[in-house]
Chain A
Amino acid sequence: MAEAIVAQNVTKDFVLRRHKTFKQMSVAKMRGQETVNRFNAVDDVSFTINEGESVGLMGLNGSGKSTLLKVISGVMKPNKGTILTRGRIAGLIATGAGFQNSLSGLDNIFLNAAIYGLTEKETKAVLDDIIDFADIGQFIDQPVGTYSSGMSSRLGFSIAVHVDCDIFLADEILAVGDKPFKRKCMTKMEEIRNSGKTIVYVSHAAASVQKMCDRVIALEKGRLLFDGDVDEGIRILDYGDEDGDELAADDAELGADV
């Protein structure tokens, strides 16, 4: 089977600027301090994801999951190593879609679809489905800046699932949605998975990863900690075990609902 995503020694560093102004910078220079400081948010990560696989990307806060998704989607470029992908990539990265706040929901649908590479005709063909799925009623004509965070991720998710992509990236899509929408999302994601598309799914909810994915990639401080079986991955990350009460309850709820 063909590869969908190939990552080879992918490293993405960020510059931490300690000193912002000219004055601060010259003082630091005179004292011989470093003015820029780099750290690797994604550090030497390699993996291959085949077409049709659905992979859960897990790790603690700040472990580099969203950064890795940005590298896969092409928003960011790795400093070292290479990333190769096949076909159209759509999805939600780092909670919330890339919207233009001053534009209406409708205009944003067209703009986002065009960025994904759809033509005007293709967009019009799925427009009703997108609006129906997002289900935000009359607010579709209002500026996106006035939306609640749940509403804008509903719209973003709805656009992303309707653009007929080859690779679907989902970063904590369930974080802000309400329960009925979470259920709808999970159903839709399963539909996408069953249609043979590649999915990279970021979530802290072990139950939903268990349900959705057939492989887990875990990051720790930007490094690849684990790549393999779902249950083992979740165990290594300690999700669900210690201080499990709250988490387990959360997951159980999700699992029961979906």
Chain B
Amino acid sequence: MSEATLAHGSTEDAELPPLVPPSSTLGLLSVFRRRYLLKLLVQRELSARYEQSFLGFLWSYINPLSQFFIYWYIMGTIMGAHKSVENYPVHVFSGLIIVHFFTETFGAGTRSIVRNKSLVQKMPLPKEMFPVAAMLVSLYHVIPQMFILLLVCVLTGWHPDLGTLIGGVLALAILMCFGTALALVFSVANVFWRDFGSLVGILTNFVRFGCTMIYSYDMLAQHAGSLRWLVLGNPIAVACLLFQRAFWAFSTENPQHTIKHEFPAHLYHQGVFALIAAFVALLLAQWFFNRFDERIAEQI
């Protein structure tokens, strides 16, 4: 407020900022309006996720890579998946990237509000910022993993088509929405009962084994019968299949044959449904978040 407004008094009322409730936010919309703050939070998350650790951000590669080698050796070599699934390492790795993106968003997102306790208690800001920032940090970590995947794909003879691009983007979009939705719900639940933080570990395990990552869709279809809809009804599994269709399918000997026999018939339709479902989940999550938002600052 300047001297001028004071001097002119009420005639200048129109120029004054409006009288508003100080705590009003538009939820996720405010998050995207305040992009500079979001950027700062993402930057600090990037440096803070592995603070005080010598290897630092390398942990985000060590973690998926160690999983990759376990699956590659135990499932591939010992259990014989190398023989039954063509180009099995790429099959695992392309699934792993997308599933790991989700589990990282879920895990870090769940902890995000509690981790920022001192800010939440004293500063007014849309708390949706923290789960969204966690999702963006996980997305950022996908980039170098994608380079590794692309390199491996090219080395094993990869011929992408337009569907690769569409499928890849669709898969990421599904998980950005769905991951943020779950992160929103669990981050606020974790404020009230830390039990939810522990629950994440268990759910993450279900997610890993509920996706066609270490086994192929073909194996699932043979064994699970109609139970396979339990897997296909899961947006994460659909995203995983889309990603594998984009990368793994085109690294096999005969991509058209692989797509026909190793994937569900209407994968892209399912992808679009999954995206819609993920978006609806996001809206529901925002509604849930709003309900408990006002108690976060005092209960944390």
A residues within 8 Å of B by Cβ? 1-3, 6, 14-15, 51-52, 70, 72-77, 82-89, 93-94, 96-103, 107, 110-112, 114-115, 117, 119-120, 166, 196-197
Contact = CB atoms under 8 A, between A and B. Distances in A.
A100 B47 CA distance: 13
A85 B22 contact: yes
A51 B9 CA distance: 10
B19 A196 contact: no
Contacts of A14: 298
B9 A1 contact: yes
Contact of B20 (A85, A102, A120, A197): A85
B21 to A, nearest CB: 6
B19 A86 contact: yes
A251 B76 CA distance: 77
Contact of B44 (A76, A98, A107): A107
Contacts, number: 106
A221 B13 CA distance: 36
Given A97-B122, A103-B44, A196-B6, A6 B297 contact: no
B16 A87 contact: yes
Contacts of A197: 1
A74 B123 CA distance: 8
A100 B118 contact: yes
B119 interface: yes
Contacts of B116: 100
B4 to A, nearest CB: 10
B125 interface: yes
Given A85-B21, A86-B20, A107-B44, 15 more contacts: A15-B295, A74-B124, A75-B124, A76-B23, A83-B21, A85-B20, A85-B22, A88-B17, A96-B122, A98-B118, A100-B44, A103-B44, A111-B41, A114-B34, A115-B124
Contacts of A93: 122
Contacts of A76: 23, 294, 297-298
Main secondary structure of the interface of A (DSSP, over half): loop
- 6 smallest CB-CB distances across A and B, nearest first, come from A98-B122, A74-B22, A74-B124, A98-B123, A74-B23, A77-B294
A243 to B, nearest CB: 32
A99 B21 contact: no
Interface of B: 1, 3, 6, 9-10, 13, 16-24, 34, 36-37, 40-41, 44, 48, 51, 116, 118-125, 294-295, 297-299
A89 B19 CA distance: 12
A87 B21 contact: no
Given A166-B1, A197-B1, A115 B123 contact: yes
16 contacts: A2-B16, A51-B1, A74-B21, A75-B123, A83-B21, A85-B20, A85-B21, A89-B22, A93-B122, A98-B122, A99-B119, A100-B119, A111-B41, A111-B44, A114-B37, A115-B125
B22 A73 contact: yes
Given A75-B297, A115-B37, A6 B19 contact: yes
Contacts of B123: 75, 98, 112, 115
Contacts of B37: 111, 114-115
Contacts of B18: 86
Given A74-B22, A82-B21, A87-B17, A2 B122 contact: no
Nearest to A123: B36
Nearest to A89: B22
Given A82-B21, A83-B22, A87-B17, A114 B10 contact: no
A64 B36 CA distance: 34
Contact of A2 (B13, B24, B36, B44): B13
A82 B120 CA distance: 21
A181 B18 CA distance: 35
A114 B123 CA distance: 11
A239 B18 CA distance: 37
A84 B36 contact: no
A82 B22 CA distance: 10
Contacts of A51: 1, 6
A162 to B, nearest CB: 16
A88 B16 CA distance: 11
